[in-house]
Amino acid sequence: MKSSVSRLSLWLLLTPFLLWIVLLVLLPHLQMLRVSFQVRESWDTIAWGIEQYQNFFTESYYWRTFVRTGVMSLFTTFLTLIIAFPIAWYIARLARGRSKGILFLACLIPFWASELVRTYGWMILLRESGLFSSWLQALGWVDGPVEMLYNDVAVIIGLVYNGLLFMVVPLVTTLDGMDENLVEAGYDLGGGHGTVLREIVVPWAMPGIVSGCIVVFMLTLGSYLTPVLMGGKDSAWFTEQIFTQFITRFNWEQGAALGVLLLVLSSVIVWLGLKISGQSLRKVMG
């Protein structure tokens, strides 16, 4: 009797989670997978096939954008890690009391505005008639207005900015839990700054590094607004292709195939990352 009651309450507690997983994650993706293998023969007949996937490999524009997006996302993730680590170190180890909270808040503040507003903020700074351009002119370092938008650098700046918080938080959490004596022992036994960082701090922070990298990589790979608004003609992002297929061309089958490919790419890279760093998903997310 008692066990059936507790089992019922367990199921009731699990219901929202299961609904979420099944309705919002599992079903749409299965549907997308199905659609991606449909080939439209005429307006009302459908066959099964891999035509959309063949399109992807034969059309160089698709797979080149795909590889570019993957590589630039990896680079963005790495850059975010390099920038976030000292910030996280400062917040976790050096800041005390109030300043710790304020610094954390400072990292959070940009997220009070929407991604759109944040991106426009960067555009105001970087565009031809923008702040940086006019400063450079005022300082006399350049002769005319400088366009800093619509290139890969601008896209990466925007993406790093968007990802920073998601890297800082897990890093602060892991670094916070590190015994100060570990660092001191590292020096005491003859290590220099580089050795202590490489042999003691980074291995300790590895779960935080990996979980931050996974989140930032996925966010970056799947981001849409920043590359569209800040990138130029030559810096297309793969999500733009998916958008075009679904919305502009109304070719859902092709869009679904590209979506599945993006999902496969992110899964493979995350899996590789976990393998290489010797971490498990349970340890990183637990």
Partner 1 sequence: MGMDSDLFCEGLVRRFGTNAAVDHVSLDVPSGTFFSILGPSGCGKTTLLRLLAGFDKPDEGDIHIRGQRMNDVPPNRRPVNMVFQHLALFPTMTVGDNIGYGLKRRKMPLAERRKRIARVLEQVGLPDLEHRNPQELSGGQRQRVALARCLVLEPTLLLLDEPLGALDLKLREQMKVELKHLQKQFGTTFVYITHDQSEAMVMSDQVAVMRDGRFDQVAPPEELYREPATPFVAGFVGDNNRLSGELVSVRDNLADIRLDDGVLVQGRVASDDLQAGHRAELYIRPESLVLSGDALSAGFSSMQAKVRTTLFDGANSRVEAESCGQPVYARLPQDGSAPRLPADSSIRLAWNPALARVFGADSP
Q: Taking Cα atoms as reference points, which of 277, 87, 283 lies closest to residue 169?
A: 87
- Which tokens go with 133? 């351009």
Looking at the Cβ atoms of 101 and 192, the one nearer to partner 1 is 192
Looking at the Cβ atoms of 7 and 193, the one nearer to partner 1 is 193
CB of 277 to partner 1, least distance (A): 12
CB of 181 to partner 1, least distance (A): 4
Looking at the Cβ atoms of 178 and 265, the one nearer to partner 1 is 178
Q: Is the CB of residue 166 less than 8 Å from the CB of residue 219? A: yes
Q: Is the CB of residue 245 less than 8 Å from the CB of residue 255? A: yes
Looking at the Cβ atoms of 61 and 187, the one nearer to partner 1 is 187
CB of 59 to partner 1, least distance (A): 46
Query: What angle do the packed helices 252-277 and 27-36 form, to 10 degrees?
Result: 120
CB count, 10 Å around CB of 201?
20
CB of 227 to partner 1, least distance (A): 37
CB of 177 to partner 1, least distance (A): 11
Looking at the Cβ atoms of 136 and 183, the one nearer to partner 1 is 183
CB of 192 to partner 1, least distance (A): 6
Q: Kindly provide the b/e burial profile for residues 118-129, where b requires at least 16 CB atoms within 10 angstroms of the residue's own CB.
A: bbeebbebbbee
Q: Hey, what amino acid is at 185?
A: A
CB count, 10 Å around CB of 145?
14
CB of 269 to partner 1, least distance (A): 24
What residues does 46 pair with on adjacent strands?
A: 40
Looking at the Cβ atoms of 97 and 194, the one nearer to partner 1 is 194
Query: What angle do the packed helices 152-176 and 202-221 form, to 10 degrees?
Result: 140
Q: Is the CB of residue 203 less than 8 Å from the CB of residue 278? A: no
Residues making contact with partner 1 (CB under 8 A): 179, 181-182, 184-192, 195, 199-200, 203-204, 206
Looking at the Cβ atoms of 18 and 189, the one nearer to partner 1 is 189
Q: End-to-end distance of the chain based on CA atoms, in angstroms?
A: 34
